[in-house]
Structure formats: structure tokens, C-alpha cells
Amino acid sequence: MQSVIQEGTEEQLPEGPLGLEFSQVHFSYNQDKPVLHDITFAIKPGERLGIIGRTGSGKSSLSRVLLRLYNLDRGTIRVGGTDTTKLSLQALYRRVGMVTQDVQLFDGTLRDNLTLFNGDVSDQMIKETTDRLGLSQWINSQPEGLDTYLAAGGASLSAGEAQLFALTRVFLTEPSLVILDEPSSRLDAATEGMLQSAIDQLMKQSTGVIIAHRLATLEKVDRIMVLGDGKVLEFGAREELASNPASHYARLLITGREEELA
Ligand SMILES: Nc1ncnc2c1ncn2[C@@H]1O[C@H](COP(=O)(O)OP(=O)(O)OP(=O)(O)O)[C@@H](O)[C@H]1O
Ligand SMILES: [Mg+2]
């Protein structure tokens, strides 16, 4: 069978953090029900965008079409100035990392799961990264450290641990654009703190798109997008939106109703 995703031949993307641009993007899983409607926005290299919106508004779908897991109905997505359909998938995946809401684990050791079986990643590099992300203590507390065996499915990790783990995995690939789909489940304060500092570290070298389910995550972003029913309801600089009492974001800040971020 031939994949419906036709990849391009372009291999080159600019060095360093990559800009991102959606231009009149329309998308649906099934013809009858549009999921993304006329999405247009741009963020510059190194900027951080926080996306919020009620459950089912299309946040995860937006990240999936960005990674070319589905074809668009219409419109263009550019990464580093290049239309993603013109890029080879390898070129795209080498530079763009994604942490999904549900973390996939494979039958293998902790090390295998962190490096995705890439033997070129040294234990030293894993150690430096996990130290920086505040994950070393947790790894050391596992019965055999990096050699601890994990079963597929990931029942052995809590939601917060799984996210820290997935961040480390993406961190090790040194991406230039990161998409982070936060878990919507509640995390304890300690894990939340660790996650926040890990996210900060990860975003230092890259452009970031963070699908946020907690107000605290949004404190560090430059821009905010509010999605509703697959449409952009609001897009702007975080500080401007915060100081405009009529904005969705300002209302969220006042009411503190995090459940509306779900
Ligand atoms: N694989 C799929 N096939 C068909 N429809 C889908 C699929 N995945 C999602 N949808 C639909 O697309 C819409 C947007 O879903 P999406 O997962 O993008 O929402 P979300 O904003 O990420 O929600 P949440 O906050 O719960 O994660 C929903 O109506 C959903 O039912
Ligand atoms: Mg989602």
C-alpha cells in the first residue's frame, strides 16, 4: 500500500530555532465534520506559543497536522519558512519534536525508552540531560537505574513521570521546534514544579508550541491562542491579552478556572 502522505524532497531547514506559520489551514478526519477551520497564525524562531481551548476544540489535531500525520483539506503549514509538504519527512522529524498527551512506552529498558533504541546516545549524555531536567533522582530510585526493564503500556509510570520521561526523550534529540501537549490530568505540586522547569530547559534552544492545561504553564509563553470549535477565537501577545479585560485569557486569569483549559 502507498501512504496517502506524499513527502517532499527538500532536506534543508535553517539552523537554530525554527519559525512556524499556519496559513488558512482547514482539516477534517472525516469529510462531514470539520475539525480545524481557517487557522492562520505565525510565530517567530525562538518564540513560545501557548494554545488553550475546551476539550475537543482541535488542539491535539493542530499538532498532528503540523507533524504531517494527516493531510490538510486546504491551506499551508510552513516550518522554518518551508511548506511542510515540500520537506522530506525525515528532515521534518529530525528538527521537530513532539510530546503527546499519552506517552508511548516500548518493551525495553529505561535507557532504550529514553533513546528510542538509538545506541549513539551515550549514558553520559543521558545523565547530563536527566540531571538538568531533574529526573536523575527518579531514575536512580528505579531498581536497576537505566537498566530497569519497562513493559509496554507504561503502567509503571504516573502521568507526571511519563511526561517528564517523554520530555527527556525529546530533549535528547535536540529539536528546533517542540510541540508539547500537556496531560489534562492533575499532577501533584512537586511533579508539576519539575515539569515546569524541564519545559523551560527544553524551550531554551527551540521554538515552542505548548498546549496548556494549567495556567501556570502559560506564564512563560510569549503568545497565546484560544481555540474554540476548530477556530482561532483569540491570538496575541500574552501581556497584551492579560491587560485587556475583555480577552478570554484575562477572564481566565481573573476567575482562575483552569477547568476551562481542559
Ligand atoms: N482520530 C480521529 N478521528 C476522528 N475524529 C477525531 C479523531 N481525533 C479527534 N477527533 C475529533 O476532532 C475534534 C478535535 O479533537 P482534538 O483531539 O484535537 O481536541 P483537543 O482540543 O485536543 O481536546 P483535549 O483538550 O480533550 O485534548 C473532536 O471533535 C474529536 O472528536
Ligand atoms: Mg488533546
Looking at the DSSP assignment, which residues form a beta bridge with residue 179? 98, 209
* Pocket flag, ligand 1, residue 63 (CB < 6 Å): no
pLDDT number for residue 200: 85
pLDDT number for residue 44: 97
Question: Which segment of 78-82, 115-119, 196-200, 234-238 scores lowest on mean pLDDT?
Answer: 196-200
Nearest-angstrom CA–CA distance, 67 and 76? 13
- The string of pLDDT tens digits covering residues 87-129 is 999 999 999 999 888 788 888 898 998 998 888 889 998 998 8
Angstrom distances, CA of residue 33 to CA of 29, 64, 95: 7, 17, 31
Could you tell me how many residues make up the chain? Answer: 262
How much distance in Å is there from the Cα of 159 to the middle of ligand 2?
15
What number of CA atoms fall less than 13 Å from residue 118's CA on the CB side? 12
**How many other CB atoms are found less than 10 A from the CB of residue 186?**
12
- The string of pLDDT tens digits covering residues 175-205 is 999 999 987 666 778 778 878 888 888 888 8
How much distance in Å is there from the Cα of 40 to the middle of ligand 2?
19
pTM score of the predicted model: 0.89
Question: Which segment of 13-17, 133-137, 217-221 scores lowest on mean pLDDT?
Answer: 133-137
pLDDT number for residue 256: 79
Q: In this structure, are residues 252 and 77 in contact, taking their beta carbons and an 8 Å threshold?
A: no
The arithmetic mean of pLDDT across residues 216-231, rounded, is 93
90 Cβ neighbours under 8 A, 6+ residues apart: 11
Atom 31 in ligand 1: which residue has the minimum CA distance? 56
pLDDT number for residue 155: 61
Rg value, the chain, Cα = 19
Q: In this structure, are residues 101 and 183 in contact, taking their beta carbons and an 8 Å threshold?
A: yes
The model's confidence at residue 85, banded by pLDDT at 50, 70 and 90, is very high
Atom 24 in ligand 1: which residue has the minimum CA distance? 55
Q: Name the strand (E) or helix (H) holding 41.
A: strand 33-43
Nearest-angstrom CA–CA distance, 72 and 40? 13
The arithmetic mean of pLDDT across residues 209-218, rounded, is 87
Only one residue has cell 515540500, namely 86
How much distance in Å is there from the Cα of 203 to the middle of ligand 1?
26
Nearest-angstrom CA–CA distance, 233 and 112? 41
The arithmetic mean of pLDDT across residues 237-246, rounded, is 96
Atom 12 in ligand 1: which residue has the minimum CA distance? 35
Nearest-angstrom CA–CA distance, 20 and 66? 9
Higher per-residue confidence, 184 vs 229: 229
- The string of pLDDT tens digits covering residues 37-63 is 999 999 999 999 999 999 999 999 999
